[in-house]
Amino acid sequence: MPKINLAVYWTAACGGCDVAILDTQEKILQVGELANIVLWPLATDGKYADLDKFKSGDIDVCLFHGSIRLSEQEAMARLLREKSKVLIAFGACAAFGGIPGLANFHRREEIFHRAYHETPSTSNPNGIIPETQVRVPEGTLTLPEFYDQVYSLDQIVPVDYYLPGCPPPVHLIEAAIDAIATGELPPKGSVIAGDKSLCHECPREKQEKKVQGFKRPHEVMVDPNRCLLEQGIICNGPSTRSGCGARCTTVNMPCRGCFGPAPEVLDPGAKLVSSTASIMDANDEASVAEMIGTVVDPAGLFYRFGLPSSMLQKKRQGGKVS
């Protein structure tokens, strides 16, 4: 069997997805046998020019991690889409916007103001902020444009498969490698993970859910066997896709939703509002209000890994007439 051409690329991401690929340990050797790695900035030396040499569709599989914030990232997403037969949104950032997507709670101007003027470590007496073009005596220097919001990969180019997780767990990466090796790929658009909610695979014991208030994980001694929601710890499990093996809830940490919404969930925030509200032991407006007060930062909690791909996508700017 001829070797396939494999590209691995990152945009707005932390690099944890690259490490997750290396975490496959000896399986990585199979990748070497299976594929010519034509681009992988973390592990190999590669330049834009190398990519230009490929004809459209020459790359068999591209694992793309990271969300899109800069014009350069958008250009690379388009280029890799054109050159690749199969484009996989690898990890929560590419698939749903991920942690960088939380920046959609702020406008570009607010982010620049904070980063280049306000932070205690910033010394910027001339108030310089990055521009896409700067004229210097030697000529014009350019930088990529910083967009007003963060996008998931599929908001920029069509995506063939999604491999969610922050980062995707090794057993799913191995399943994907095996599927590529044998050519037995699922239908396009598939999410390579479970098809139920996390609660289905979470081993914790579930009983009657009725809580008097909500606590954050560091504020309580967690009972290792009982459902976290029953202990008043908000867990995103009910609206999150299964397939991770409950790797957080088995170590006493609540789910934060890095596998994205479960099938049929249109907006994880809306569903988590429902599931959180439904376990409150409150029957009048005053006690409801008191209990809701113990939910810290609901939007940031419910959209932790998927604000750009949620229904409202980003904070409305002022909400007033523009």
Partner 1 sequence: MNTNFEPKIVGILCNWCSYTGADLAGISRIKYPANIKIVRVMCTGRVDPTFVLKAFQQGADGVLVSGCHPGDCHYVDGNVKAMRRAPLVTELLKQMGIEEERFKLVWVSASEGEKFAKIVEDMVSDLKKLGPLVPVGGAVKHA
- 286 makes contact with partner 1 (CB under 8 A): no
- Interacting residue with partner 1 among 277, 304, 305, 306 (CB under 8 A): 277
Q: How far is the CB of 140 from partner 1 (least distance, A)?
A: 26
User: 128: which residues sit within 8 A by CB, 6+ positions away?
Assistant: 116
What's the token pair of residue 291?
């209990």
Establish if 311 lies at the interface with partner 1 (CB under 8 A): yes
Distance between CA atoms of residues 58 and 55, nearest Å: 5
For the CB of residue 302, give the shortest distance to partner 1 in the complex, in Å: 7
Q: Which of 9, 54, 302, 305 binds partner 1 (CB under 8 A)?
A: 302
Candidates 40, 105, 112, 116: give the one binding partner 1 (CB under 8 A). 105
Under rule CB under 8 A, residue 37 binds partner 1: no
212 binds partner 1 (CB under 8 A): no
- Residue 49 within binding range of partner 1, rule CB under 8 A: no
Among 276, 294, 305, 306, binds partner 1 (CB under 8 A): 276
Q: What is the 3-state secondary structure (H, E, C) of the chain?
A: CCCEEEEEEECECCCHHHHHHHCCCCHHHHHHHHEEEEECCCCCCCCHHHHHCCCCCCEEEEEEECEEEEHHHHHHHHHHHHHEEEEEEECHHHHHCCHHHHHHHCCHHHHHHHHHHHCCCCCCCCCCCCCCEEEECCEEEECCCEEEEEECHHHCCCCCEEECCCCCCHHHHHHHHHHHHHCCCCCCCCECCCCCEHHHCCCCECCCCCECCCECHHHCCCCCCECCHHHCECCCHHHEECCCCCCCHHHCCCCCCCCCECCCCCCHHHHHHHHHHHCECCCCHHHHHHHHCCCCCHHHHHCCCCCCCCCCCCCCCCCCCC
Rule CB under 8 A: say whether 162 interacts with partner 1: no
Strands 35-39, 133-136: pairing kind: unpaired
Residue with tokens 């709670």, as numbered in its chain: 105
Q: Which stretch binds partner 1 (CB under 8 A): 90-98, 112-120, 222-230, 286-294?
A: 286-294
Q: Which is nearer to partner 1, 225 or 322 (CB)?
A: 322
CB of 211 to partner 1, least distance (A): 11
Binders of partner 1 among 252-271, rule CB under 8 A?
A: 266-267, 269-271
Chain positions 179 to 198 lying near partner 1, rule: CB under 8 A, are none
Q: Would you count residue 118 as binding partner 1 (CB under 8 A)? A: no
| Of the candidate residues 74, 93, 180, 235, the single one contacting partner 1 (CB under 8 A) | 74
Residue from the set 110, 116, 292, 294 that interacts with partner 1 by CB under 8 A: 292
Residue 295 interacts with partner 1 (CB under 8 A): yes or no: yes
Residues in 13-32 at the binding interface with partner 1, rule: CB under 8 A: none
Antiparallel, parallel or unpaired: β 68-70 and 133-136: unpaired
Nearer to partner 1, 1 or 321 (CB): 321
Q: Does 322 bind partner 1 (CB under 8 A)?
A: yes
Residues forming the site for partner 1 (CB under 8 A): 68, 74, 105, 147-149, 151, 155-158, 266-267, 269-271, 273-274, 276-278, 280, 282-285, 288-289, 292, 295, 297-300, 302, 311-322
